[in-house]
């Protein structure tokens, strides 16, 4: 469409919502079952050495009629813009297929197909012009993230490699005639910046300003971040330099989940907004269930709220979806005006930073500068980048809003050091949250830094020192990188020292920059803060000259910013820290008033201006403003007089200052902070002042716990802190108990924490289940909120629960369970409560429970209130509400409505399941060719081996700490959701670190005292599969048992996908191949007893800590033993050399599925393991009636070694398989359906 494209698009977008097409991949998926490898190859690639099936972009050459048909279907549905079939059309992506040489041809051919379709439909209706957009995907590599966990500075692609690849793609697309370049599905902004750079260079060289640029990013999950960690606002700021006509979001999320992030983008964007979400979220089979009507309805709020200018569809969307969206959008006309032009300086790291009027001064952290920090320079020279990162982190923690990085030193490779350090901070979210100032006197070093940073940076610096030609050349490159720029007050004659010269150079540079399109708000002048009080007379007025220049630049150069290196001012007073800090603070106070916007300062080392000693401030300001010829001498004399005190810096106040507060405030502080050091003496003081001991509990102690409850409820305290608070509370109460017992006639002997009016909550882990950490946490949290807790412990039969509930006249019953058999026990409890005419509310919780199960299986059996409680943080609100007569009715109406909806959804889901018959599923099993891929070698022994009193120290490298934090309900948000990144989470990081430190202290104590014993067993047997089952044999080939398998039955989207069962990984008995299977059981002994003793001593916190650590040790023992099996006992991977991270990410050969979990969801299979290997007798790990293991911290698994073995989920199964399974196991159908209840695909 040529030069008219941009104006035509603007006109249409201002009139109505423009429609973008739907998913090309989804439509190709629909025809792929018909496409063979030969179809992908065509004639031109029939002899190509690599498989090509799945290379969808290639179909534009080998099956152009199919791609053209898809384009036309979308145009027929109402699309205004269709995207070319080039999502993977770069040399980087095509390298997987060995087709780098065809990239230009592939893009040109794809573009020509899209242009042809658009031309056809534009000619049909000239009033509705159609546009072909050249789709540029993100590639399959990321420039901001290391693929090597052990080396976060490593990258498998460089900025320049990406730029070159994108340039070649752009050439092909434009030569093919596209109207628009569309850089989409951006998960890493640095990749996109390389694409933008390539496009800007292309336009400049080819003089093609007529091609508009569209940008679309991907928010990868509900955290609201791209994969590389940026918020929508930071993403926008990083892209703004591109000159884009529109920006938007696509992929990863459905419309409903995309809206909050789209709102953030729309609220800031000065350009048009696009959105093309997925057709909902994928189901468990990777398919998209949202119908066209549902998707259109989900998108409609975007129009009602005025968030978008363009709409389309991504994964799962089809022409039907686009038609529905187009018809719905047609009702609205144009709904969004781009935001007015913003003239504030905006920068970004992972988050956006905006220099508004409210931000009086921007602190630029100075300590990551080899020229300004001796410590930092030494660390870099020694290659100690880990410690160097700590310097950067401390700058951020001290308040730096921008981080200055400088590697200019004669003994350093500045380019390499800059690149490595910038790559490293990209993997440190706490640091990379803020923008970076890339600082160097060498422009190639600056570029090496910019090529590693996805955010909008500041370049420090360029100048007119080498003349205008060089100045403009560098400025244009800075513009292509999308950075703001610092301009130093130098010209061909040298450095400006007077206000007049500073202003003149700045004015000249400003005019040159604006003439090439540099945004004036991105121009920052550093007019040189020079050293004063040196003893040289001409230096005395440098402070005045700088301040006067600031005033004039602000008056004459609109929107320009001012910066300076503040530490230069005081260089003549080396090592007199207090004096220097006072000079910097006073100078900034006045310079900021004159217009200074930012400065390179040590943000953590500045006293408040008003706190500077009066005499010192007078002398400092006399020097800054050159008030006296004696100013320097007077300052020197003061410095000499107080030299020793001048060497100090700002100090942290005594952390025991809180002890000076009132008694009530001291008690509150101790409870909130979990400090028990002084609580007994403070409680005694309160008792002596109170009329009764009980009044201390009901007064200051409960007041303090109410503060704890409020802080916890608002998310300002975290669970470990609350449990520590409870420990302090119990210590205080324990002190009061003897005094309360003296008043037996006035007080009840029991009820330690309250008066007789307290509500009672009974808690129990149900029969057969031994996991109680979650239940214990709920008990502590409710106890902190003045509920009396009757905790019956674990493995509690239904009869005991109900008897104790009646005995104590409880107000609420709460039941918990971890394993699937516990679900049936909860149903049984509900039925018994109904038959015995209970009326009290029943709360259901635990890892295996769900709202769906509660609604479908439990609620129908009990007329009383039944509520599923997700976690401890919700328990207080639920109990408070359900026991409040004024709120309970409305609350339960909402719950009942929700559960009714869930029951209807369950019925609908059952009706929608599509199953293969079990016979057909077996025919479509994973048919491993055991002749070509034989079983691995035999284990080193057949039979059992006991491992007793295993050293805990050897397990430390195998501990996965991420679940530990989830146990305590400490949840970081992406990218801080896993250990050790969770320590950097801005909300929970500090608490997570403290919790981890205490865990390590506890672990150290456990190892020193040998408090816990780790014991286990590993065993191996000859094995052969028979159908879905595995027969096991001793060394003498005597059959010792059978493990029964369950097979996937739900129909899969891809026709060739196998239907898996664990027996598929073992050679069949008919193959005459010798195969084997291993078993493992391991436990941590002593934790349950330690926890019980700690609870008796009112130390719930440490009891929970012991249990949580024991669970981690059990899992680490399983990981360790699996490695030992692979490397030694079985030895099929004796050359394995994996890192800890690779171990935890399962980067090894073989699997260890556990009975009761997704690959074999029947817990009764443990009974076979225990019988064959005699596990209970040899290890003392026992099974409960519900097949739970005792001790509670125990793990068991099966070992499969074949390279093609893989983890999978059986998923829902149908009645024919259940019947077969029951028959093979000699179980009744009723019992089998009960055991397999959670995976039944029908209503039993």
Residue 211: both structure tokens together: 């091609």
Burial 350-367 (b: 16+ CB within 10 A, else e): bbbbebeeeeebbbbbbb
Q: What is the DSSP letter of 699?
A: I
Catalytic choice (317, 348, 373, 822): 822
CB 341 within 8 A of CB 378: no
User: Quick one: which H or E segment has residue 223?
Assistant: none
Q: What is the DSSP string of 1020-1069?
A: EEEEEEETTEEEEE-TT--EEEEE------BPPSSTT-----GGGGS-BG
Residue among 20, 29, 67 at smallest CA distance from 316: 29
Q: Can 771 be counted among the known catalytic residues?
A: yes
Between CA 1018 and CA 76 the distance in angstroms is 64
Whether 769 is a known active-site residue: answer: yes
Cα 428 → chain centroid:
13
Tokens (6 digits) for 445? 């070093």
Q: How far apart are CA 982 and CA 1004, in angstroms?
A: 22
Q: How far is CA 791 from CA 778, 841, 862, 882, in A?
A: 10, 16, 22, 20
Please indicate whether residue 962 is annotated as part of the active site.
no
H-helix segments, 144-279: 159-175, 189-206, 232-239, 255-266
CA distances from 462 to 387, 442, 496, 549 (A): 30, 9, 15, 19
Taking residue 789's Cβ as centre, other Cβ atoms within 10 Å add up to 19
Assess contact for 79 and 21: CB atoms under 8 A: yes
- Asked if 322 contacts 284 with a C-beta cutoff of 8 angstroms, the reply is no
> What is the Cα 595 distance to its own chain's centre?
39
Candidate list 71, 261, 590, 771, residue with the active-site label: 771
Sign of CA dihedral 371, 375, 378, 379: negative
DSSP reduced 3-state for 415: helix
Q: Are 704 and 668 in contact (CB under 8 A)?
A: yes
Among 179, 404, 526, 769, the active-site one is: 769
3-class DSSP state for residue 944? Answer: strand
Measuring CA to CA, which residue among 956, 1008, 943 is closest to residue 1120? 956
Here the tokens at position 672 are 């909130």
Burial class of 261 by CB neighbour count within 10 A (0 to 12, 13 to 18, 19+) = buried
CB 271 within 8 A of CB 247: yes
Q: Which residues contact 1230 (CB under 8 A, 6 or more apart)?
A: none
67 token code pair:
């791609």
With vertex at residue 279, the alpha carbon angle to CA 273 and CA 285, rounded to the nearest 5 degrees, is 140
Query: Computed from CA positions of residues 510, 516, 517, 523, in that sequence, does the dihedral angle turn out positive or negative?
Result: negative
Using alpha carbons only, give the angle 1111, 674, 657 rounded to the nearest 5 degrees. 145
Task: Give the alpha-carbon dihedral of 1067, 1069, 1075, 1078, to 10 degrees.
Answer: 90
Enumerate the β-bridge partners of residue 353: 347
CB 588 within 8 A of CB 606: yes
Quick check: 1118 and 1154 in contact, CB under 8 A?
Answer: no
Closest residue by Cα to residue 16 from 338, 314, 331, 339: 331
List active site positions: 769, 771, 822
């Amino acid at each position: 469409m040529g030069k008219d494209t941009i104006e035509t698009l603007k006109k249409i977008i201002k009139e109505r919502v423009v429609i973008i097409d739907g998913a090309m991949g989804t439509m190709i998926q629909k025809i792929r079952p018909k496409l063979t490898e030969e179809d992908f190859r065509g004639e031109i690639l029939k002899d190509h050495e690599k498989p090509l099936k799945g290379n969808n972009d290639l179909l534009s050459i080998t099956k152009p009629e199919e791609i053209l048909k898809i384009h036309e279907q979308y145009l027929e549905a109402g699309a205004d813009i269709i995207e070319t079939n080039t999502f993977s059309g770069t040399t980087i992506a095509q390298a997987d297929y060995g087709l780098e040489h065809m990239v230009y041809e592939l893009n040109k051919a794809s573009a020509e197909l899209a242009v042809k379709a658009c031309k056809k439909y534009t000619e049909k209706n000239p009033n509705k012009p159609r546009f072909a957009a050249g789709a540029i995907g993100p590639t399959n590599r990321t420039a901001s993230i290391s693929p090597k966990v052990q080396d976060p500075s490593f990258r498998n692609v460089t900025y320049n490699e990406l730029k070159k690849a994108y340039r070649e793609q752009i050439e092909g697309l434009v030569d093919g005639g596209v109207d628009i370049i569309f850089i989409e599905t951006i998960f890493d902004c640095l990749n996109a910046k390389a694409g933008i750079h390539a496009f800007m260079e292309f336009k400049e060289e080819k003089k093609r300003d007529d091609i508009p640029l569209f940008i679309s990013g991907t928010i990868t999950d509900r955290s609201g971040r791209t994969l590389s960690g940026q918020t929508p606002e930071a993403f926008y700021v990083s892209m703004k330099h591109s000159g884009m006509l529109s920006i938007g979001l696509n992929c990863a999320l459905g419309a409903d989940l995309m809206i909050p992030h789209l709102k953030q983008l729309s609220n800031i964007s000065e350009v048009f907004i696009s959105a093309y979400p997925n057709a909902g979220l994928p189901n468990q089979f990777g398919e998209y269930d949202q119908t066209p009507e549902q998707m259109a309805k989900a998108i409609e709020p975007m129009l009602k709220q005025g968030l978008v200018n363009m709409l389309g569809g991504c994964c799962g969307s089809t022409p039907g979806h686009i038609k529905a969206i187009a018809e719905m959008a047609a009702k609205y006309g144009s709904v969004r005006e781009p935001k007015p032009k913003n003239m504030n300086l905006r920068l970004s790291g992972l988050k956006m930073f905006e220099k508004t009027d409210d931000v009086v001064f921007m602190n630029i952290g100075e300590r990551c500068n080899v020229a300004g920090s001796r410590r930092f320079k030494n660390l870099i020279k020694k290659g100690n980048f880990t410690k160097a990162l700590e310097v950067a982190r401390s700058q951020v923690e001290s308040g730096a809003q921008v981080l200055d990085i400088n590697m200019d030193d004669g003994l350093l490779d500045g380019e390499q050091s800059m690149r490595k350090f910038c790559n490293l901070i990209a993997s440190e979210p706490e640091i990379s949250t803020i923008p970076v100032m890339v600082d160097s006197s060498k422009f190639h070093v600056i570029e090496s830094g910019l090529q590693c940073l996805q955010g909008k940076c500041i370049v420090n610096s360029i100048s007119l020192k080498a003349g205008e030609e060089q100045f403009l050349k560098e400025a244009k490159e800075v513009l292509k990188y999308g950075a703001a720029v610092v301009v130093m007050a130098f010209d061909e004659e040298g450095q400006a020292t007077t206000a007049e010269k500073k202003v003149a150079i700045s004015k000249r540079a400003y005019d040159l920059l604006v003439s090439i399109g540099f945004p004036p708000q991105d121009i920052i002048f550093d007019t040189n803060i020079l050293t004063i009080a040196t003893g040289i007379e001409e230096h005395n007025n440098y402070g005045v000259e700088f301040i006067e220049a600031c005033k004039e630049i602000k008056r004459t150069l609109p929107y320009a910013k001012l910066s300076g290196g503040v530490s230069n001012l005081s260089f003549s007073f080396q090592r007199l820290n207090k004096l220097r800090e006072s000079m910097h603070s006073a100078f900034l106070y006045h310079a900021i008033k004159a217009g200074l916007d930012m400065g390179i300062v040590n943000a953590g080392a500045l006293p408040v201006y008003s706190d500077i000693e009066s005499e010192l401030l007078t002398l400092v300001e006399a020097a800054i403003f050159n008030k006296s010829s004696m100013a320097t001498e007077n300052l020197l004399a003061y410095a000499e007089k107080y030299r020793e005190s001048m060497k100090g810096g700002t100090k942290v106040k005594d952390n025991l200052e809180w002890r000076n507060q009132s008694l009530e405030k001291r008690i509150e502080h101790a409870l909130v902070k979990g400090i028990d050091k002084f609580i007994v003496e403070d409680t005694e003081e309160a008792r002596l002042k109170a009329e009764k001991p009980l009044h201390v509990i009901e007064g200051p102690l409960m007041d303090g716990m109410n503060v704890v409850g409020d802080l916890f409820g608002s998310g300002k305290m975290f669970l470990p802190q609350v449990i520590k608070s409870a420990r302090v509370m119990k210590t205080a109460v324990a002190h009061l108990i003897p005094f309360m017992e003296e008043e037996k006639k006035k007080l009840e002997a029991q009820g330690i924490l309250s008066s007789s009016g307290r509500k009672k909550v009974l808690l129990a882990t149900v029969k057969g289940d031994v996991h109680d950490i979650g239940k214990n946490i709920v008990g502590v949290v409710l106890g902190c909120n003045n509920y009396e807790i009757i905790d019956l412990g674990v493995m509690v039969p239904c009869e005991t629960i109900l008897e104790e509930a009646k005995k104590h006249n409880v107000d609420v019953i709460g039941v918990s369970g971890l394993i699937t058999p516990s679900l049936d026990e909860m149903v049984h409890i509900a039925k018994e409560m109904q038959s015995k005419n209970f009326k009290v509310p029943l709360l259901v919780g635990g890892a295996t429970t769900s709202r769906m199960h509660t609604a479908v299986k439990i609620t129908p059996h009990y007329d009383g209130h039944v509520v599923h409680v997700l976690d401890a943080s919700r328990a207080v609100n639920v109990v408070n509400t359900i026991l409040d007569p004024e709120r309970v009715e409305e609350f339960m109406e909402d719950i009942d409505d929700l559960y009714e909806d869930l029951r209807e959804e369950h019925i609908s889901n059952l009706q929608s399941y599509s199953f293969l018959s079990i016979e057909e599923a077996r025919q479509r099993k994973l048919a491993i060719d055991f002749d070509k891929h034989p079983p691995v070698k035999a284990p080193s022994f057949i039979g059992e081996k006991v491992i007793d009193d295993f050293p805990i120290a050897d397990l430390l490298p195998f501990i996965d700490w991420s679940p530990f934090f989830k146990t305590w309900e400490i949840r970081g948000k992406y990218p801080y959701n896993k250990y050790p990144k969770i320590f950097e989470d801005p909300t929970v990081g500090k608490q997570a670190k403290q919790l981890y430190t205490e865990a390590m202290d506890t672990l150290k104590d456990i190892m020193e005292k040998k408090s816990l014993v780790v014991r286990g067993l590993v065993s191996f047997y000859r094995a052969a599969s028979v159908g879905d089952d595995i027969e096991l044999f001793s060394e003498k080939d005597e059959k010792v048992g059978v493990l029964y398998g369950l097979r996937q039955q739900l129909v899969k989207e891809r026709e060739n996908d196998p239907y898996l069962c664990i027996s598929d990984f073992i050679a069949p008995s008919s193959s005459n191949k010798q195969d084997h299977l291993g078993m493992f059981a391991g436990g941590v002994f002593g934790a349950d007893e330690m926890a019980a003793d700690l609870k008796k001593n009112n130390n719930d916190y440490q009891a929970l800590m012991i249990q949580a650590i024991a669970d981690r040790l059990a899992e680490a023992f399983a990981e360790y033993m699996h490695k030992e099996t692979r490397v030694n006992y079985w030895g099929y991977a004796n050359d394995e050399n994996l890192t800890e991270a690779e171990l935890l990410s399962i980067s090894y050969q073989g699997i260890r599925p556990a009975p009761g979990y997704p690959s074999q969801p029947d817990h009764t299979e443990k009974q076979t393991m225990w019988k064959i290997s005699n596990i209970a007798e040899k290890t003392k790990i026992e099974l409960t009636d519900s097949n739970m293991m005792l001790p509670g911290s125990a793990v068991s698994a099966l070992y499969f070694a074949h390279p093609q073995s893989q983890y999978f989920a059986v998923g829902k199964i149908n009645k024919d398989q259940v019947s077969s399974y029951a028959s093979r196991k000699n179980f009744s159908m009723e019992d089998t359906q009960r055991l397999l209840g959670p995976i039944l695909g029908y209503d039993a």
